[in-house]
Every structure is written in structure tokens, then in C-alpha cells.
Amino acid sequence: MRLNFAPRFAQQRSKSIQYIRSILLTGLASVALTQVHATTTLAQPSTCKWQADATVVQAKPKIALVLGSGGARGYAHIGVIDVLEQNGIRPDMIVGTSAGSIVGAIYASGKTPEQMKNIAMDLKSDDVRDFTLSKQGFFDGKKIADYVNAQVDNTLLENMKIPFYVVATELKSGQDVIFRQGDTGKAVMASTSIPSMFVPTKIGEQQYVDGGLVHPVPVTIAKQLGADLIIAVDILARPEYTETSNVWGLFNQNINIMQNRLADYEVKQADIVIRPDIREKAHVFSVGSRMQTIQAGEVAAQNQIDQLQKVLSAKTYQLQAEHDDLQICQH
């Protein structure tokens, strides 16, 4: 008997083809679903809204006022601050070193320029000068700390009305140190401890000296702290105006040259540099020179106001544009 497998084979073949077709269709459908799912995921309506559709946020540059070192020239800082205030420019942070830390502390505590002028004119040598017998210096510096604390009503650094940062130098390592909390007077005392004149200030286990040794005009510190616009006040003595006919003059000239080199590097990173024209070395306790120095600060600041307003407007516009371009996403 001859068996005929053709019909059965045909049936099996038909079923196999349908099965394979089913598998292929299922696979293709799976791939298609995967692609559609991926496409759908990418094409989902965004939950992000443009800033323009949300509540308008007014961008404002974070302004840093950098007050440099310079001994008796520090009175000029008061004149600069006065002019800035008159023109509606108030810093969001203050960075001070040496003489700049004294003025900066008093301003940051909430004193007005007029009050600061009165404080400056009332200053007496006995208020801040205390002689001592030490191999490390002639002055102790504690009176400076007490004086500053009295002027700022014993306000701690972290509680200042304007965020305030004090620059000093760690004696052993020569590294810069930024005080941003704790005893304001003690921090200023450290920042103003001129080596060989003042005994180094001890805080904790470390000794600190004048911040002007590493940052005579601490612009880079302000930059690190996130300032958008930096106004630097450079009151350093200019080497070309320094008397060099005696030993003391030569000593001053060495310091002036080194500090100006450091300052030149830093102020290049500032948006506005204010340099009061103070050519004669005034004594820190000379009442007559105080007002002249304050006025020199006022003149220098006034000369830069137009440029400062332009820079401020440009920075504000730039920040506002960046804010408008940012998307606020709802998660």
C-alpha cells in the first residue's frame, strides 16, 4: 500500500507557515511596541515651563566690596562707601584685609557712612595702641580687638547685617585664612597684626598676622565666595611716591613693591577698581589727615560711578537673560 503524505504535509506546512508568521508578527509587533513606547516616552508633553510663563524673578548681581590694606589710608574706604551709598549701591558682601577689615567690620555691622566718619574723627591713639615687651613685636593688638567689638556692638561675624569676611595670614604656613564666624574684634586683630610691629594674634592653636601679606586687595577671595560684581578699593602706597632716603623709607619701599605686585594681579579680576590719590604717608592718628583721606576716597569713587553704573546694568541684564532662559521643571 502506498501511503500518501501530501495532504497531511500540506496541512502541517500550512500550520507551520501560520505559526512562523504568527511569531514574526508578534516579534514585529513587540519591536513596534517598544519603538512606539520609546517614541511616546520622548514625545510626552514636557512638564517644564519657561521662566517667562512663571512668576518673574528679578536677577540681581551679587556685589562684593573689597577693602584693601594700607594703614592710615584706610580712612579713604569710608569716603568710597559714602559715595556708593549715595548712589544706591550697597554690597551683598564685604571682604576686608588689614585696615580694610577695620572699616569693613564697622560698615557690615550696620553703621552709616556719617556714623563711620564720626567714629574715625573721634579715634584716639589710646583707643587702639597698647605697648608690650615682647620679642615678637611692640604692640599687643588686644586694644584693636576691644575697640572694634565696641564699635560693632559685639556682633559676631556670622551675625553681621552685611556678610563680612576677614583675611589674615597663618604665620607658620604663610597660607591665607578667611574668618567668617566668631569674634569679630579678634579676627580684625589678626588681620591687622603687622609682623615685627604687632605680636601675632593667637586663635586656637594657630598664630596669625596681617592679611595684606598674601592679599593686599583680596579680589580673588571675593571671586571664590561667588561675587558677580567686584568693586575693589586699592589704597596701597605707590612706590613712586615713597621716600627712600633713609632706612625706614627703604623698608617701606620693599613692602610697597611686593604688595603692589600682588595687588596688580588681583585687581585685574575686579570689575571696578577705585584708587584714591593719597601720595603722602599720613599718620594714623593725624586728625587733619583723616578728613583729607576720606575726601580722597570720595573723589576716587565719584570718578568711577558712571562706569560702575554701566557695569552694574550690564551684569544685571546678563543675569536676567540667563534667568529667562532657564527652565523650571516640575518633578
Q: Which secondary-structure segment (H or E) carries 132?
A: strand 131-134
Q: How far apart are CA 328 and CA 331, in angstroms?
A: 10
Per residue of the chain (331 residues), give pLDDT as tens: 333 434 443 444 444 445 434 433 444 333 333 333 333 233 333 444 434 444 455 678 999 999 999 988 999 999 999 999 999 999 999 999 999 999 999 999 999 999 999 999 999 988 998 888 888 888 899 999 999 999 999 999 999 999 999 999 999 999 999 999 999 999 999 999 998 889 999 999 999 999 999 999 999 999 999 999 999 999 997 766 777 677 767 767 777 777 888 889 999 999 999 999 987 666 555 667 899 999 999 999 999 999 999 999 999 998 888 766 654 544 4
Active site residues: 98, 210
CATH number of 63-321: 3.40.1090.10
Measuring CA to CA, which residue among 262, 251, 234 is closest to residue 67? 234
User: For 165-206, what is each residue's pLDDT tens digit?
Assistant: 999 999 999 999 999 999 999 999 999 999 888 999 999 999
Provide the residue ranges of all domains of the chain, joining segments of one domain with +: 63-321
Phi, psi values for residue 11, rounded to 5°: -65, -45
Burial of 320 per CB tally in 10 Å (0-12, 13-18, 19+): middle
Judge contact between 180 and 157, C-beta under 8 A.
yes
Inter-CA distances, 223 with 143, 154, 226, Å: 32, 28, 5
